[in-house]
C-alpha cells in the first residue's frame, strides 16, 4: 500500500534472521502517474521552497517566480487522501519530531513524512501532518514554516496549487 512501490521498489521479507524475496516478474508495466505541483501560501503569496534537495535541508517559502516555481511530487502513501510530498529528486517533506521543524529527508514511510492534502471550498488546500494532525503553515513573521492547530479560515495554512495540479486527484 505504500507509495514507494510506485517508484519501482519492492520489499524484502525477513523471517527468523533470514532475508528472502520471491522472483518478481513485471508485465505490462507503465510509468507511475504522479502529480507534480507548486504550493503558494495564501497569507504571504510565496511558494514552498528548499534551497537544496538533501537530508536535513530546511523547507521554507520564497517569492514566486510566476512560472518555473519549485515543483513538488505527490506520491500516494496507500491511505486515501494521504501523500508523501517530495522534491523531483525524491527527498520527502519531513517533520523533524525532535526539533519540531520542517525539513527534507529520505522517505522512510513514517507518519512524520505523510501528509493529508484536503481541498477547501475556495480551491485552496490545507496540508495536515498524518503524524499529529497539525496543519502546515507559514509562521507568524512569514519567514518559515511550522505546524499549527488546523483552522481552515487561516490564510497562513491555506495553499494554492500550481496550474499543473488544478482539477486533478485532490478531493
User: Is the residue at 9 inside a domain?
Assistant: no
User: Is the residue at 128 inside a domain?
Assistant: yes
Structural domain for 153, as ranges: 33-161
User: Is the residue at 47 inside a domain?
Assistant: yes
User: Is the residue at 85 inside a domain?
Assistant: yes
User: Is the residue at 104 inside a domain?
Assistant: yes
User: Is the residue at 50 inside a domain?
Assistant: yes
Q: Are strands 115-119 and 145-148 parallel, antiparallel or unpaired?
A: unpaired
- Counted domains in the chain: 1
CATH number of 63's domain? 2.80.10.50
Average pLDDT over the chain, rounded to an integer: 85
**Are the beta carbons of 112 and 129 closer than 8 angstroms?**
yes
Is residue 21 packed enough to be buried (19+ CB in 10 Å), middle (13-18) or exposed (0-12)? exposed
User: Is the residue at 156 inside a domain?
Assistant: yes
User: Is the residue at 169 inside a domain?
Assistant: no
Percent of the residues in the chain that have a pLDDT greater than 90, as a whole number = 61
* Closest C-alpha among 134, 123, 71 to residue 100: 134
For range 20-39, the mean pLDDT: 74
For range 112-126, the mean pLDDT: 94
pLDDT digits (tens, 9 = 90+) for 128-167: 999 999 999 999 999 899 999 999 889 999 999 987 654 3
Amino acid at each position: 500500500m505504500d507509495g514507494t512501490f510506485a517508484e519501482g521498489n519492492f520489499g524484502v521479507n525477513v523471517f527468523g534472521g533470514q532475508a528472502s524475496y520471491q522472483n518478481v516478474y513485471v508485465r505490462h508495466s507503465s510509468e507511475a502517474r504522479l502529480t507534480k505541483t507548486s504550493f503558494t501560501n495564501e497569507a504571504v503569496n510565496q511558494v514552498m521552497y528548499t534551497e537544496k534537495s538533501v537530508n536535513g535541508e530546511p523547507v521554507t517559502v520564497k517569492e514566486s517566480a510566476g512560472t518555473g516555481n519549485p515543483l513538488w511530487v505527490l506520491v500516494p502513501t496507500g491511505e486515501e487522501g494521504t501523500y508523501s510530498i517530495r522534491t523531483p529528486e525524491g527527498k520527502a517533506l519531513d517533520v523533524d519530531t525532535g526539533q519540531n521543524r520542517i525539513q527534507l529527508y529520505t522517505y522512510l514511510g513514517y507518519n512524520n513524512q505523510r501528509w493529508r492534502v484536503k481541498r477547501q471550498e475556495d480551491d485552496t488546500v490545507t496540508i495536515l501532518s498524518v503524524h499529529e494532525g497539525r496543519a502546515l503553515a507559514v509562521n507568524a513573521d512569514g519567514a518559515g514554516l511550522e505546524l499549527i492547530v488546523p483552522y481552515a479560515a487561516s490564510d497562513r495554512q491555506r495553499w494554492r496549487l500550481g496550474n499543473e495540479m488544478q482539477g486533478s486527484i485532490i478531493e
